Amino acid sequence: MALVPVQASAEPTVDARPRARRLVAPLATAAGVLLATGYIRFVDPNEPGHYPLCPTLALLGVDCPGCGGLRATHALANGDIAAAIDHNALFVALVPLLIGLWAVWMYRAWTGVTPARTPTRDVISRAAPIVILVIAMAFAVVRNFVPFLGSGAG
């Protein structure tokens, strides 16, 4: 099966749905994230018994890329950036990116316009998940050998 290149469209895509309908998904996502973050802010993951153990840490004894994410969220929600970085530096680095991506999603939902596809946008959309996966896997390997990059769980 041969890969057929995607033809770039010359015109932006316009979503004909009403604005209120377009905003449901990004606003529901924001509400869910804020509710979960609020819960994590008040229910400390540093106290045993509140949250399940990371299966990778429990079974293999090594930190996965997400280990320390709950504790980092708790620290960020309480304004302790240094502790958040200590628990999971990758997560803390990704938070501004995730907020930015959500803002772009919100803007596109508000306006109803998605920019035209270009070859550059296609390359970025195909490469971004691979790059993020490689960075996460590299972080997972390195954090288990560099003491100050560990999740601080044990």
78-87: pLDDT as tens digits: 999 999 998 9
Higher pLDDT, 100 or 1: 100
Asked if residue 32 is part of any domain, the answer here is yes
Q: Which domain holds residue 48?
A: 19-149
Asked if residue 3 is part of any domain, the answer here is no
Q: What is the pLDDT of residue 67?
A: 86
- Whole-number average pLDDT of the chain: 88
Asked if residue 5 is part of any domain, the answer here is no
Asked if residue 11 is part of any domain, the answer here is no
Asked if residue 6 is part of any domain, the answer here is no
Asked if residue 88 is part of any domain, the answer here is yes
d(CA 151, CA 145): 12
Asked if residue 1 is part of any domain, the answer here is no
Q: What is the pLDDT of residue 154?
A: 47
Asked if residue 132 is part of any domain, the answer here is yes
Q: How many domains does the chain have?
A: 1
Question: Is 52's pLDDT higher than 90?
Answer: no
Q: What is the pLDDT of residue 4?
A: 53
